[in-house]
């Protein structure tokens, strides 16, 4: 059996402090890029060593997120450590051959699927955007009688004053909590840190940079919009490229047209139709822009179909003649909102002739941690705007930092 040694010289202070906790529940609450996923993945490998051959489970908010974060990070650590392993994607099982260790991957979007046999340990990545039921399921399952070292660890960024906030204030259970700030991560470029600080409001910085629980569920979504400042009539932009911004829907399909300048956008036309499909929208917008334009839209349009044969993206390309630009997956809602607010604060986003978009920007509010979408007429135009703004001016740009961080 191989020995497994942890190289701690590159640990951040809050990672070391969290690693040394002697409690059954170990909680690391940190900002974006504070090294939570890396240290959680490393901990799961270590626990598979301590508990061999008995398995533990590492739970992500969804299967897709697990593949993009947990699986990538586990493989990165295992490969760089020279450990022999196999990964069965169908079963969601990492088997580390050096010591017969097993890491089972779980998906928190289906809590019932987490039920099953005894576990020796459990880890939950980004627990505070998951249901408390996931946490409860892990408590019920970590009960293996032959476990070498049982524990449940949680690593995540705080989201609202939810069950995670309640957990952090409990004194009746064996829980240890460490807080970590993005700014403490010396492995991140300074540009990344400064970009976060400039993108978020004071309360959002407390949550998403410093890892503090803050009430972000109240008030206007686009709080930096002021019609006296941002509703502006402009006549000097005809030499600039036009861009289209679209949110795919059947009930109130929505799109915007705007001019794209050097670091700014001026929106000058809105499209809003009920009970139509993507073909109808493509034809409508094409009438105004027969030569096509860059189109920024919802990432789901690559798979969402308005017909039996074509995706929404395909329809906009082939019928409308537009150059579709969309990310592989949609950004988090709060990133999209933060990118719009950042452009509003800097005076680099203006609007004219768009009464429904203005209503969106003035009236959209938060509800239960998300944008309130109970009125089916609202939010679609501002969503379309957000897709374009976050694509062109993202609040979290890709960095050259190591995958481990």
**Terminal-residue alpha carbon distance, the chain:** 29
Q: From the centroid of its chain, how far is CA 121?
A: 26
Residue 334 falls within a domain, yes or no? yes
- Quick one: pLDDT band at residue 334, thresholds 50, 70, 90? confident
Same domain, 188 and 270: no
Residues 204 and 232 in one domain: no
Q: CATH number of the domain that 344 lies in?
A: 3.30.420.280
Q: Tell me the CA distances in angstroms from 69 to 8, 202, 262, 267, 337, one per residue in order.
A: 22, 28, 33, 36, 23
Within a domain: 56: yes
pLDDT over threshold 50, residue 400: no
Confidence band (pLDDT; 50, 70, 90) for 308? Answer: very low
Q: Are residues 198 and 250 in the same domain?
A: no
Question: Same structural domain for residues 116 and 176?
Answer: yes
Clarify whether residues 307 and 174 are in a common domain.
Answer: no
Residue 277, burial from CB neighbour count under 10 angstroms (0-12, 13-18, 19+): middle
> Could you tell me what percent of the chain has a pLDDT over 90?
61
- Decide if 101 contacts 49 (C-beta within 8 A): yes
Comparing CA positions, the residue from 112, 130, 142 lying closest to residue 167 is 130
Backbone angles phi and psi of 133, in degrees to 5: -60, -35
Q: How many Cβ atoms sit within 10 Å of the Cβ of residue 218?
A: 8
Residues 201, 54 share a domain: yes
The stretch 219-223 carries a mean pLDDT of 88
Q: 173 lies in a domain?
A: yes
Residues 55 and 167 in one domain: yes
CB 333, CB 370: distance < 8 Å: yes
Instruction: Looking at the structure, tell me whether residues 204 and 265 fall in a common domain.
Output: no
Q: How confident is the model at residue 5 (pLDDT cuts 50, 70, 90)?
A: confident
Tens digits of residue pLDDT in 8-18: 888 999 999 99
Does residue 217 fall inside a structural domain?
no
Residue 375 has pLDDT above 90, yes or no: no
Q: What are phi and psi of 31, to 5 degrees?
A: -75, 175
Q: Are residues 159 and 236 in the same domain?
A: no
Of the segments 90-104, 210-224, 372-386, which one has the largest average pLDDT value?
Answer: 90-104
84 and 127 both lie in a single domain: yes
| pLDDT for 231 | 93
Residues 6+ apart with CB under 8 A from 3: none
Q: For residue 195, give its domain range.
A: 13-208
Has residue 159 been placed in a domain? Answer: yes
Helix (H/G/I), strand (E/B), else coil: 282: helix
Quote the mean pLDDT of the chain. 89
Domain shared by 144 and 279, yes or no: no
Cα(312)–Cα(300) distance, integer angstroms: 9
Residue 405 reports pLDDT greater than 50 = no
Whether the predicted pLDDT of 399 surpasses 60:
no
Return left, alpha or beta for 302; rule: phi > 0 is left, psi -120 to 50 is alpha, else beta: alpha
Q: What is the CATH number of the domain that holds 63?
A: 3.40.50.300
154, 232: one domain? no
Q: Looking at residue 1, what is its pLDDT? A: 47
- Pairing state of beta strands 152-156 and 25-30? parallel
Tokens at 134, concatenated: 């996931």
Which structure tokens are listed for 243? 């861009």
């Amino acid at each position: 059996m191989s020995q497994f040694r942890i190289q701690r010289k590159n640990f951040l202070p809050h990672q070391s402090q969290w690693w040394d906790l002697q409690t059954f529940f170990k909680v690391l609450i940190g900002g974006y890029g504070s090294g939570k996923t890396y240290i959680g993945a490393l901990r799961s490998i270590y626990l598979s060593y301590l508990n061999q051959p008995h398995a533990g489970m590492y739970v992500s908010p969804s299967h897709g997120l697990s593949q993009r974060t947990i699986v990538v990070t586990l493989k990165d650590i295992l490969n760089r450590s020279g450990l022999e392993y196999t990964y069965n994607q169908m079963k969601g099982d990492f088997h580390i051959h050096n010591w017969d260790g097993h890491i089972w991957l779980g998906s928190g979007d289906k809590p019932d699927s987490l039920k099953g046999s005894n576990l020796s340990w459990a880890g939950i990545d980004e627990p505070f955007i998951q249901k408390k039921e996931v946490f409860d399921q892990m408590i019920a399952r970590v009960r293996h009688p032959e476990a070498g070292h049982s524990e449940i660890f949680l690593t995540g960024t705080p989201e609202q004053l939810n069950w995670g906030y309640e957990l952090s204030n409990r004194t009746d259970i064996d829980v240890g909590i460490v807080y970590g700030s993005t700014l403490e991560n010396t492995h991140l470029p300074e540009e990344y840190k400064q970009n976060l600080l400039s993108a978020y409001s004071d309360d959002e910085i407390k949550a998403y940079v410093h890892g503090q629980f803050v009430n972000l569920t109240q008030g206007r979504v686009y709080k930096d919009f002021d019609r006296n400042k941002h509703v502006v009539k402009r006549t000097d932009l005809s030499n600039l490229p036009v861009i289209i911004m679209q949110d795919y829907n059947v009930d109130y399909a929505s799109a915007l047209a705007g001019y794209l300048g050097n670091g700014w956008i001026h929106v000058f036309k809105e499209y809003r139709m009920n009970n139509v499909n993507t073909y109808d929208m493509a034809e409508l917008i094409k009438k105004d822009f027969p030569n096509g334009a860059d189109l920024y839209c919802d990432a789901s349009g690559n798979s969402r179909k308005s017909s039996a044969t074509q995706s929404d993206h395909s329809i906009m390309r082939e019928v409308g003649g537009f150059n579709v630009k969309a990310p592989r997956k949609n950004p988090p809602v709060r990133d999209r909102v933060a990118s719009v607010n950042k452009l509003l604060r800097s005076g680099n986003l203006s609007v004219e002739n768009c009464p429904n978009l203005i209503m969106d920007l003035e009236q959209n509010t938060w509800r239960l941690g998300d944008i309130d979408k109970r009125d089916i007429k609202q939010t679609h135009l501002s969503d379309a705007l957000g897709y374009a703004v976050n694509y062109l001016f993202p609040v979290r740009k890709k960095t050259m930092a190591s995958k481990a961080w």
